[in-house]
Every structure is written in C-alpha cells, then in structure tokens.
Amino acid sequence: MTGFSTTQNFPHQIVAPLKKMRMATLLLIIMTGTAFGEISDLSSNTDLTELSLEELMSVEVTSVSKKKQKLSKSAAAIFVITQEDIRRSGVTSIPEALRMAPGIQVARGSNNQWNISSRGFNERFTNKLLVLIDGRTVYNPLFAGVAWETQDTMLEDIDRIEVIRGPGGALWGVNAVNGVINIITKHAQDTQGLLVSGVTGTEEGIVSVRQGGSHGSDFQYRLFAKYFNRDTSFNAVGAHDDTRMFRSGFRTDWQPATQDRVMVQGELYTGNGGQQSTVATTTTFPYAFTLGNEDLEMSGGHFLTRWEHTWNSGSDMALQFFYDRYERRENTVKATIDTFDVDFQHRFAFLSHQEILWGLEYRYWMDDLQNTPGTAVFPDSQSFNLVSGFLQDEITVIPDTLIVTIGTKLSHNHFTGFEYQPSGRFLWTPMDGHSLWGAISRAVRVPSRLEDNIRLTLPANSTTPFPTLVRGNQSFKSEELLAYEVGYRLNTFEWITFDITGFYNQYDNIRGTRVVSLAPPTGTLENNLEVDSLGVELGSDVQLQDWWRIRGAYTYINMWVEGPINTALSTTGRGTPHHQGSIRSLMTLPYQVEFDSWLRISDNLPAPNIAGYLELDLRLGWKPWPNLDVSLVGQNLLDNHHPEAAPSLFLATQPTEVQRSVYGKLTWSY
C-alpha cells in the first residue's frame, strides 16, 4: 500500500498554500480599505438622452439578468453550449451536445448507456459530476451519478447548457467534485406558438410537438410531447440496444408583480430498451451465469416549482421545491427512487463592495429495490436525508479589476455525517477583455447506496480469472479532492475569443477493491486509491467572416493512480483519453442555407484497449420560409461503426459501437 505514505504528506502540501492565502487575505484587507476611491461615471441621475448612440452602446447595465451575464466573467472554467450550437451541430440528444465542451469526456456505451465525466474518471457509472436541469438535481443516489439514458427534453426548447469544469463544491452541491452541468430550458415566453419537428434517418426517428400560449401579459405556458425510437447499434455478437421513449411535459412562467416570478414545470416519461449482459443466477461459488439479451424498462417524472423575488435594493432570493421519481426494471437491477428537495437561496449586497450568497437545502430520498441472485442490496428499501448550507462572499477588491470569492458548503449526509467543502477564487481583469482567474477548492463525493451495502456476483473477466463476489463497505468514506485551477480568457476582439484552463487535482480515498478471501474469491470496496490528475483545456471561437465561424476545443488530461488497482472493478483512470479535440465550422450561406461540419478526435482509452477515433458530422440546413427549417445531417461519417466506451466490470453489460447515421429533419413553427 504505497498509497498511505503519500497521504501522510497531504497536510504539508495544503498548509503551504494556505499560509500564502492568509498573507493574501491581509493584503486583500489592506487593499479593500484603499481601493474604493473610484466612482462609477454614470450615476442614476444623469440624463442618458444626452449621450450619443455610440456612447449609450458602451454603457454597462445593471440588470436582473446580471446573474446570467456574470457567468462569462466568473472565476471558473465555464463553457456555454447555446441553442444555436445545439441546432447547428445536428445532435439529437443532450449527451451528444456535451461533446462540444472542452474538458468533458463523452462515450456512448450503447443507445441507452452514456459514460459522461468531467476531468476524467470516465466509466459506465461515472460519479463526481453534478447535473441540474432547470435547477433540479438529477442525482442517482444508487451509484452517485446520472442516469443519462432518461435525461432528455425537446432540444429546440433548451436555452443553453452551462458546463462548469472543476469543483463547484462550495456552491453547487455534494456531487460537484469534477464539474457541474447546468441545463436551462427556455422561458415560456420564448416558446410561444406551435412547433412541430420530425427526424427520420438510418438510426433513429424523432417526433416532437410543442404548443406555447399566454394568458394576459403576465402568464405564459408551453406543453410538449416527444417520442424517439433508436435502432439497434453494432456489436459483433448482436447489440440488442434498440431504445424508445415517450415523454410529455409542461412549463408555466408567471410574473404576478414586476419583482416576482413563479415557474412551475412537470414531466412524465416512459420507455424501454435492451442490453446484453452476463447475470449470475445462483448465489454459491462457482455460480451459474447466463449471457443474453435482456429488456429494460424506464419510467419516471418530476414536478418542480420555483419562486424568485427581487428587492428594489437589488438583492434577490429563490425558493424551490421539486419531486422526482425514477424507475428502472432489468434483470440485475429493479429500482424505484423518490426524491423530495427544498432549496432556498438569498443574495444581497453587503456594505458597498461585497455580495453575499447563502442557501439551505434539504433532500429526502426513498428507494425500493428488488434483489436478484447476482445483485442484492441490504436493506432492499431505505430512506435517507441530506441537509446542506452554503455561504459565499464575493468581494470586489478593485472595481472592474479584482474580485475575490470565498465560500464554503457544509452538509450532513446519511453515510459519512458532516462534510465541508471550502473554496477560494479570484478573478483579475487588468485590461478590458483579458481576465485571469485562479481557485483552490476542496470537494467531496459522498458514498453511494451501492458502495454502502451491495452484494454483487461478477463473472470472470480480464482482471480476475475467477467469478468473484464483491461486497459493499459500510465504513466506506467520502472520496476527497483538493483542486488547484488557473485560467485565462481573452475577449478583447469581436472576432475571436480564447480560453485556456489548467488544473492539478489531488484525490484521496478513491474507490478501489481489496481481496478479503480467495476461496471463494471475495472482494470488498475500499477507499484505497490515490489519484493525481493534471490537465489543460482550450476553447476558442473565431468569427473568420460575417458568414463563417469556427469553434474549437482541445482537452489534455493525465491521471496517476496509486494503490492496488489490478483487481476487478478498478477501471479508475482507464476510461479517459489523454487527448480529445473538436473543431466545428458554421457557415451561413446565401439563400438561407447553412453548412456546418464538426470534426472530433479522441485518443485511445488507456485500458482496456479501445482504439481512438476520428469522426465527422456534416449538416446542410435550409430555411426556405421563416417558419420552416429543413436539414440533412450525417453523423459519424468516417466509420461504419466505432467503439467509444470500455466494457464495465461493475455490471457486466456489453457496450455496443456507434454507427454511421444519416437523417433528415423538418421543423415547422407558427
């Protein structure tokens, strides 16, 4: 166990930067005392009509949408996928859209399996990533990850996807260790009228209908329904992963007063798909296994309501409640999970140069599982709570130039009790259009239900020659991260923006396994790995001509894993390519024609040996009338089929390969 000696070194490594931070704090306090000599040029009493149009266009405004605008100026690695990006990339699912973001690993394991991670650790059951859809956490407590196969909506109604790499721990939640993905749908007032869209092609068919309307000037709504059917993809021994899903939902936005906004939304979905898996059918060594096709059923839904209030002073608050149900039925796992969540946030200006944001959250889970000979969890039904609070102080040290943000999250969970996640950040804008930021944060990934008390029977595989029984560990600890990040953003010029981020992450208590017995072979989950990772992420957006735009992204990551990794389940670090790149070209041609192309490249996966790939997507779009959009799209054109995901050792399902696809799409709106 070489791992522990490194652990002993931890305190020294942390203390040094913290001592420096204390110095920085003093410095900061001195600076806050002197820096506030400047006054904004425009007080609210100026007659603005006396300014010329040019001058007016250069005035920065303080608006309600400040929160949204500020994202581009925040001290974190942020990439925004806009509605225009989604439309012009030709993607037909949320996971595919995420391929545009630097720092994000996306591998399609099958039509109903997506391995998605931020900054590494990519595998079938990736954890350490928090995903929110309109403020609703889509966290699956069984494996501390996201069931991507059920996350969908009408892509036309997505406003944007904010991808934040790195620990959002202080603010965002317990699972935001390596990143946060924030999917935001459009306000109902932006989806008025009827929209019908249809996709038909070699691999899938999709029909979506949305109707938006309003009542008076303060209340807008939309209703939508979507159905998709994806064809079986490729696997040498048969894939059996054809998948279909129907979902329907609504959203209403009501503004009872200028300062109040109430949003209500709900959705129901049902679908089914299939997979090839190896399942144990007996409970005594050497066990009997069957390999075969199995069907899976997925269904669920949610209801969410949020009230936002803004005071004249500029402070605001949001109170949100949601309920979510998740159901999945397959041979190995039969689960129902109900989640209830209440969340409150309040932001206010504190003295003249600070902004405080604080919040409280309470979450309650209830699960009901059905044990099978191969996969069992004890007890098979359980409920648990999560309580958390956070406090963040954004201090403007030098107006428009230096902002320091410090904050911490404190939470209490069922498995490990109290956890704290502090972070400190700065954003320095020495000149307009150039910004440099840095951050040091601690984040934790709390144990999942399965890690706590699963009993899993695995067939022999590439890492263990015998069928093995793996047990959960009731004293499993939280995985911990100490992250150092630094980034630079350039947006001085109208025609080019450029963004570079570097990070060094030190993880401790990462999940591995320990052999507890050889006859019969039995292992237990243990926090016995230490991982260091180092990475660089680039993003750039170049407007070459009025009609031609290029967007590029590049990701480098290397992971060093220390500990007894050569056992079943430990695929840590091996599902993440070292290099990934993406270049998109968006051409707006005469006669309302658009021609877009997207080249993606991915390195080999370190192990098991999945070859790297180069793929090309092309899209030809034409808008003969303002309300009709026709397009022809080819995806993954360079290969008949290519594998992207490593087989999972945790649950022995067979990944399939992504096939070439061509489809036509028609969108009509009125």
Partner 1 sequence: MMHRPHHAFGLCLAIVIVLSSLIWHPEHSQADGPKEYQIKVAFLYHFATFVDWPSSTYKDTDGHLRICIMGKDPFGESLDATLRTKKIGSHPLEIYRNPSTTTLKHCHMLYLAAAQSSQLRTYRQQYGSANVLTVGENDIFIQHGGMIKFFLDDQKVRFAINPDAINKTNLKVSSKLLRLAKIISP
Q: Which residues lie near partner 1 (CB under 8 A)?
A: 7-8, 10-11, 14-15, 18-19, 21-22, 25, 28-29, 32-33, 36, 39-40, 42-44, 46-49, 51, 53-54, 56-66, 69, 72, 189-190, 192-193, 214, 217-218, 220, 255, 258, 314, 350-354, 393, 395, 399, 406, 408, 420, 422, 424, 442, 480, 491, 626-627
CB of 40 to partner 1, least distance (A): 5
Q: Which is nearer to partner 1, 48 or 607 (CB)?
A: 48
381-398/402-413 β-pairing: antiparallel
Q: Which is nearer to partner 1, 22 or 284 (CB)?
A: 22
Q: Which is nearer to partner 1, 36 or 227 (CB)?
A: 36
Which H/E stretch holds residue 369? strand 354-369
CB of 545 to partner 1, least distance (A): 15
Q: Which is nearer to partner 1, 19 or 412 (CB)?
A: 19
Q: Which is nearer to partner 1, 242 or 526 (CB)?
A: 526
CB of 624 to partner 1, least distance (A): 13
CB of 82 to partner 1, least distance (A): 13
Q: Which of 471, 468, 512 is nearest to 1 (CA)?
A: 512
Q: CA distances (Å), 324 to each of 97, 118, 138, 262, 340, in order?
A: 24, 24, 9, 19, 7
Nearest-angstrom CA–CA distance, 553 and 561: 26
CB of 468 to partner 1, least distance (A): 32
* Angle in degrees, CA 207, 213, 215, rounded to 5: 160
Cα of first residue to Cα of last residue in the chain, in angstroms, is: 65
Q: Which is nearer to partner 1, 191 or 656 (CB)?
A: 191
Q: Which of 302, 289, 233 is nearest to 639 (CA)?
A: 233
- Which residue is associated with the tokens 């030809």? 620
CB of 396 to partner 1, least distance (A): 9
Q: Which is nearer to partner 1, 110 or 396 (CB)?
A: 396
226 and 207 Cβ atoms separated by less than 8 Å: yes
Q: Which is nearer to partner 1, 2 or 312 (CB)?
A: 312
CB of 249 to partner 1, least distance (A): 21
Is residue 18 helix, strand or coil?
helix
Q: Which is nearer to partner 1, 63 or 545 (CB)?
A: 63
Region of 144 on the Ramachandran plot (φ > 0 left; ψ -120 to 50 alpha; else beta): left
Q: Which is nearer to partner 1, 22 or 434 (CB)?
A: 22
- For residue 372, count CB atoms less than 10 angstroms from its CB and return exposed for 0-12, middle for 13-18, buried for 19 or more: middle
CB of 503 to partner 1, least distance (A): 19
Beta strands, E only, 546-611: 548-562, 579-589, 593-602
Burial 516-547 (b: 16+ CB within 10 A, else e): eeeeebebebbbbbbbebebebbbbbebeeee
Q: CA distances (Å), 241 to each of 489, 661, 669, in order?
A: 42, 16, 33
CB of 250 to partner 1, least distance (A): 18
CB of 83 to partner 1, least distance (A): 10
Longest dimension (CA), the chain: 87
Q: What's the DSSP call for residue 654?
A: P
